[in-house]
Amino acid sequence: MKPSRITVSKDRKTLTVQFEGVGGEAETHEVEAELLRVRSPSAEVQGHSPEQRVLVYGKRDVGIMKLHPIGNYAIRIEFDDLHNTGIFTWPFLLELGRNKEAEWATYEAELAAAGRSRDPVRLK
């Protein structure tokens, strides 16, 4: 299922994806750039197995610089921290949008367990 519309907010912090006809009705999901970045489907973040997944932290302020279409099935998102290797398929974006609250809760629990923060690391 291909989205009918994809937009980036003016502040570059939110991606809005609209899917038409999902279950008979349109679905629109707003997903924060930070969540897209930390859950990027790239091998750099996900690894090549679940055990290799990397906990990405300090991305509260990350923004979206550019969207690149990938065929008729996905987009590649270029973030302002220069990460640009994730291929975000339509099903991935739909599921992330539908499960956003659970993904946030899981991510925040992972950060707490690792003693990390969403806030960028500041040099002293």
Q: Where does residue 63 rank: exposed (0-12), middle (13-18), buried (19+ CB within 10 A)?
A: middle
Query: So where are the chain's domains?
Result: 34-114
Q: Is 79:89 a contact under the CB 8 Å cutoff?
A: no
CA distance 20 to 11: 25
User: Looking at the DSSP assignment, which residues form a beta bridge with residue 16?
Assistant: 7, 30
- What number of residues does the chain have? 124
The highest-level CATH class for domain 34-114 is alpha beta
pTM equals 0.92
Tens-digit pLDDT profile for residues 3-54: 999 999 999 999 999 998 756 788 999 999 999 999 999 878 887 877 888 8
Give residue-wise pLDDT tens across range 43-100: 788 878 778 888 999 999 999 999 999 999 999 999 999 999 999 999 999 999 999 9
Helix (H, G, I), strand (E, B) or coil at 95: helix
CA triplet 71, 76, 78: central angle to 5 degrees?
150
